[in-house]
Amino acid sequence: MIVEISLQPYRAFRPDGVILFRCALLRLSCATVLRCACSDILTPLPGIGIPFDIDETKGPVIESPIRTLEDVKAMRPLDVSGLQFVAESLRILRKEIAPSAALLGFVGSPWTLATYLVEGKSTSTYTTIKTMAFQAPQVLTAILDRLADAIADYSIFQIEAGAQTIMLFDSWGGQLPPAAWDAISRPAIERLVKRVKAAHPLVPIVLYANGSGGLLERMSRTGVDAVGLDWTVDMADARRRLGSMPVQGNVDPAVLFAPHDAVTAAVKDCCLKAGPRGHILNLGHGVLVGTPEDAVAAFFDAARNVHY
């Protein structure tokens, strides 16, 4: 099912890259799988001793949040024995799409995963983990270090199963002020990246963060190979700020609900501002639920008809 879901957009639109879709709960309909996509970055948590469930209304739920050093000590190094379905899916996908498309792996950043571990659920305020940063920074650092090592090992696991690039999502990085991101999220990302690069120095890592307009220069200095841009950053501004750093993005996903000429204009604007080199055209985030399939086709048609 994971392979089939991953291949459907590839067969329909023939992109240059395919990202592994995997969800911890593949037990209901495809519609439910789509709603559970947020669990994607949480998939390795049981492998470090942290079970979780998905509530259809609340999202991910961790019954025993990690909030003390004793809780951290109970976290174990990543055990990939329960993740073999991920490796097998990657191996199959690599055979299916080679050599016409690249295969991308997918992991969450330490800070982003930590928000779920500490809060115990999805949150819009991040008050528990931000309070921990002020009142018990040693606990938060210990959590982030453990997660950095586990996610690095998970990235290596995916690479050795066939992933040719790793997408690193600091989805909630933009919830931190820039100075706090420097102090909290960045060191854990650098630790993770250093470990992956030691094992596979030639495999590119792309770092993305929601709401990252204030973080771009900081993100580029973490050791990653490219920076993913959300749709709130103007591509021309990002190019000026990042210099020669390759970028990914950043068409607003909502434009796919507009007429096709608006989709074409948005793609052209993004590509021309990015220039012909060092740019991976993408949406500024994932395809929104309910997006018309013909609009996605229009996006790809527009991309193939950009003339610099």
User: Is there a contact between 164 and 202 (Cβ–Cβ < 8 Å)?
Assistant: no
User: Structural domain tally of the chain?
Assistant: 2
Bridge partners of 54, per DSSP, are 60
Give CA torsion, residues 308, 214, 149, 115, to 10 deg.
-120
Q: Please report the pLDDT score of residue 151 as a whole number.
A: 98
Does 160 map to a domain? yes
Non-local (6+) Cβ contacts of 229 within 8 A are: 208, 212, 216, 235, 238, 247, 248, 249, 250, 284
Which among 228, 243, 275 is the end of a domain?
A: 228
Residues 96 and 192 in one domain: yes
Residues 257 and 152 in one domain: no
Residues 194 and 297 in one domain: no
Residues 212 and 268 in one domain: no
Model confidence at 39: pLDDT above 90: no
Kindly report, residue by residue over 134-151, the tens digit of the pLDDT.
999 999 999 999 999 999
Residues 219 and 293 in one domain: no
Which among 187, 213, 228 is the end of a domain?
A: 228
What percentage of residues in the chain have a pLDDT greater than 70?
Answer: 94
Does 302 map to a domain? yes
Kindly report, residue by residue over 91-121, the tens digit of the pLDDT.
999 999 999 999 999 999 999 999 999 999 9
Model confidence at 57: pLDDT above 50: yes
Nearest Cα to Cα of residue 207 among 107, 80, 293 = 107
Model confidence at 190: pLDDT above 50: yes
Q: Which domain range does residue 19 map to?
A: 2-228
Nearest Cα to Cα of residue 47 among 97, 81, 93, 24 = 81
Does 234 map to a domain? no
Residues 11 and 44 in one domain: yes
Q: Please report the pLDDT score of residue 253 as a whole number.
A: 97
Which among 228, 262, 293 is the end of a domain?
A: 228
Q: Please report the pLDDT score of residue 31 as a whole number.
A: 35
Q: Please report the pLDDT score of residue 97 as a whole number.
A: 95
CA distances from 274 to 3, 95, 267, 297 (A): 32, 32, 11, 21
Distance, CA of 80 to CA of 47 (rounded, Å)? 6
Residues 58 and 131 in one domain: yes
Does 133 map to a domain? yes
